[in-house]
A and B are shown apart, each in its own frame.
Chain A
Amino acid sequence: MDGTVTDVGVQPVTLARRQFDSLVIGAGGGGLRAALQLATADANVAVVSKVFPTRSHTVAAQGGINAALANVLPDNWHWHMYDTIKGSDYLGDQDAIEYMCRSASHLVYELEHAGVPFSRLDDGKIYQRPFGGQSQNFGGEQAARTCAAADRTGHAMLHTLYQQNIHAKTHFFDEYFAIDLIKDDEGFVLGALVLEIETGKPLLIEAKTTLIATGGAGQLFRTNTNARINTGDGMGMALRAGIPLQDMEFFQFHPTGVAGRGMLLTEGARGEGGYLINKDGERFMERYAPHAKDLASRDVVSRAISTEVREGRGCGPDGEYVLLKLDHLGRDVLQKRLPGISDTIRTFLHIDPAEEPVPVFPTAHYTMGGIPTNRHGQVVVPIDQGEEVIPGLYAAGECACVSVHGANRLGGNSLLDIVVFGRAAGNDIIEYLSNNRYHRRLDEASVDKAVDHLQRWDLQGEGESVANLRNELQLTMEKYCGVFRTEVVLAEGIEKVLELQQRMADVRLQDHSRIFNTARIEAMELENLFDIAVATVVSAHARQESRGAHSRIDYPERDDVHWLKHSLYYKRDRRLDYKPVTLKPISVESFPPKERVY
């Protein structure tokens, strides 16, 4: 299988090839859950990840995973479904949301059986804490639905899922960077071109199915809660393969990032009883959300903080942040329930949260948009009146848009999303494999194109630097596509981002070595970020309403008549298209859009 010589570009390269039934790109929670499903069904699966699996950003998730276990307060999946739809500002697809909320308990028990060290209640059951946007009885009292392993739930889940994959003997390609999808004329996806980072050698992985599970794109913004690797590579790969991205204008800003630094302080801090105050010591969320207060939805709290600061009620010498008060919780609760963020606060702010309130400000956090899929994880694109499946291609997790989060994700729903749809994709792939037993002929033109893409970075000489352009892009996105948006600012944003993107052509690397060349990886990551940035500002500019995380000062109201629809952005001509929101669930009554108050 190895050692086929292909004549590509200027220098012929020896392109090694490997064949698998199924390729999974990404070893975060989404990719690992899918891989586990496949490996236990004896499919021949390869998992490619640009970092060692347990370094994936799922490891950073803190607060927990939602499931209506009713271990602490009464609960059921239907209430969870309602909260998720309301949280999404009615842009979420109700069939997918029903599917997710119905499967939640089963999947959390499954994680527990696999070894996740959840915190416990006195009766031995899984500990659950209240999180934002959760209610009992369709909008009634606060619910406690978020299953937690202290404030290290993502770490606990990711390590457990990796461990289970070791047990299942999944085949891992650690520290391999996926460059582009391989696709044939009939639209089948046949695998991907990847690069072994340690040796700098490209490898063609042929597979009957390819699942993209590459996570979010928080690196679009300067101040963010995301890891350096969160550059949305899978979304970039999809765009280049002609697949649109859905709902990219909806980017979640988390209310409580460490001011000036961006790292996350979980919503669980407010779930455990913490609250926000302004410079007058006022608990200002009571004004914005009289009922849910500090546990209103994230978009609501982020806007409230930004408004407090803009109207001069911010704290600190320059009035640039508000304070998160935790000291009244006491050292015990902090140590037991919030040990991770207590460490972070001590390390990065030199503050003892048991003594002093903590400076916080909204920070870019979560990519609601992504690669459009149905609830089986299949990638779908519109054709004529309906939708068509891209054969062989799947997506799951933060890079996908299924869409369960709509215009605003509820805390604790993403860890759920990744396991629910990672598993669903795994199951659908198993079925696809049973109907498609043979590899299709490889499309050499598509391979050549991917190899050319890689070889572009061999260009020598003087030029722009990746680091510079990345910094400029992040600043531009923060300034022109942040929490509050307007027509004028967004139009300017599009221009600026496009100008910057043009300068990518002038970038030259100084490092042309093969072995562990991270400059080349960062360059390709930046290419992806640029494509996603354009998708984000263009989609945001077009949407003339305020919904969830997309907040337009010039169109302050939600407009269901014109805008109750998903955006689809295509790279080619920067075209926008739209498709209807699925308001019909699978088995229960629809929740029609109504005014959203917390």
Chain B
Amino acid sequence: MRFRIYRYQPEVDNKPRMQEYVLEEIQPGMMLRDALLKLREQDETLVFRHSCGEGVCGSDAMNINGQNGLACLTPLSNLKEPVEVRPLPGIPVVRDLVVDMSQFFYHYRAVKPYLKVHDPEPEVEFLQSPQQREKLDGLYECILCGCCTTACPSFWWNPDKFRGPAALLQAYRFLADSRDQATTERLEDLEGPYRMFRCHTIMNCVNVCPKGLNPTAAINNIKKLMVKDMI
């Protein structure tokens, strides 16, 4: 199987280049991450992040034949040759497929992604009905891989101001939590033309999320809450 992989090693390369690789032995069921690991046995200077191998740690997000995804969940059998592998778009490249995620995490931290409760804590758990808890499904599972945010044109244009789909999904994860008591504060934090309202419902984020989450819906729900809060 043939691969074209983005290479950039700032110590020696003036600019990025695409390098061709061939992998002879392809076993059934092999994922792209398995292939990259085999290629690394040929060439240990080829660098990418990865860890769990099962789509839970969020390390190995990359751009695969033009679409963002996790290498460990991408079967080779679905890929057209040569498989073109690039780093996530729109953020600085550190080396090869490794990108600098600081901007992404900055926005994550900026939405204050932690439960805020003002009431005194009970001796036991806060009660939450299964229906209230269900509202968190599709939100809490985010693995912070960055596929969505780096596929979002609004983020490309305003990476310093627009929070991006992943951070906004997390903002909604806390707004949707029946235990959280900072709704007004959270909504105020998202006002203004940039932080959230740069989203133009282009849906790129939804199409690429490897966990099947829907940041666009979350953003719309935040907007609805804002309207409700105004009234």
Binding site for B on A (CB under 8 A): 51-52, 54-57, 59-60, 69, 108-109, 112-115, 117-126, 149, 152, 155-156, 159-160, 163-164, 166-167, 198, 227-229, 263, 340, 343-344, 347-348, 350, 465-468, 509-511, 513-519
Q: Which of B11, B114, B143 contacts A155 (CB 8 A)?
A: B143
- Interchain CB contact under 8 A, B140 and A513: no
Count contacts between A and B, CB distance < 8 Å. 146
For B49, B112, B114, which residue has the most chain A Cβ atoms within 10 angstroms? B114
- Would A112 and B11 be within 8 Å (CB), given that A55-B58, A155-B141, A227-B57 are in contact? no
- Would A121 and B114 be within 8 Å (CB), given that A57-B52, A126-B125, A263-B54 are in contact? no
- Interchain CB contact under 8 A, A59 and B57: yes
Interface presence of B55 (CB below 8 A): yes
Binding site for A on B (CB under 8 A): 9-12, 29, 40-41, 43-45, 47, 49-59, 73, 94-96, 98, 101, 105, 109, 112-115, 117, 121, 123-130, 132-133, 136, 140-141, 143-144, 174, 177, 179
Which residues from A are CB-within-8-Å of B112? 167
For B40, B57, B136, B179, which residue has the most chain A Cβ atoms within 10 angstroms? B57
Which residues from B are CB-within-8-Å of A109? 123-125
Q: Which of B12, B41, B94, B177 contacts A516 (CB 8 A)?
A: B94
- Would A163 and B114 be within 8 Å (CB), given that A109-B124, A227-B53, A263-B53 are in contact? yes
Which residues from A are CB-within-8-Å of B96? 516
Measured CB to CB, the nearest residue on chain B to A517 is B47
Which residues from A are CB-within-8-Å of B136? 117
Nearest-CB distance from B210 to chain A (Å)? 10
Nearest-CB distance from B43 to chain A (Å)? 8
Measured CB to CB, the nearest residue on chain B to A50 is B51
Which residues from B are CB-within-8-Å of A149? 140
Which residues from B are CB-within-8-Å of A514? 11
Which residues from B are CB-within-8-Å of A167? 112, 114
**Given A124-B127, A350-B29, 15 extra CB contacts under 8 A:** A54-B58, A55-B57, A59-B57, A113-B125, A114-B115, A118-B133, A120-B132, A123-B127, A156-B140, A160-B114, A160-B115, A227-B51, A228-B51, A263-B54, A515-B10
A159 vs B58: C-alpha distance when bound (angstroms): 12
Q: Which of B9, B115, B143 contacts A54 (CB 8 A)?
A: B143
Which residues from B are CB-within-8-Å of A511? 44-45
Q: Which of B12, B49, B109, B132 contacts A166 (CB 8 A)?
A: B109
Which residues from B are CB-within-8-Å of A515? 9-11, 94-95
- Interchain CB contact under 8 A, A166 and B56: no
A160 vs B43: C-alpha distance when bound (angstroms): 38
- Interchain CB contact under 8 A, B127 and A125: yes
For B44, B45, B96, B105, which residue has the most chain A Cβ atoms within 10 angstroms? B44
Q: Which of A120, A228, A465 contacts B128 (CB 8 A)?
A: A120
- Interchain CB contact under 8 A, A229 and B51: yes
A76 vs B94: C-alpha distance when bound (angstroms): 52
- Interchain CB contact under 8 A, B12 and A347: no
Nearest-CB distance from B181 to chain A (Å)? 12
A434 vs B49: C-alpha distance when bound (angstroms): 40
- Interchain CB contact under 8 A, B130 and A120: yes
- Would A518 and B140 be within 8 Å (CB), given that A109-B123, A164-B114 are in contact? no
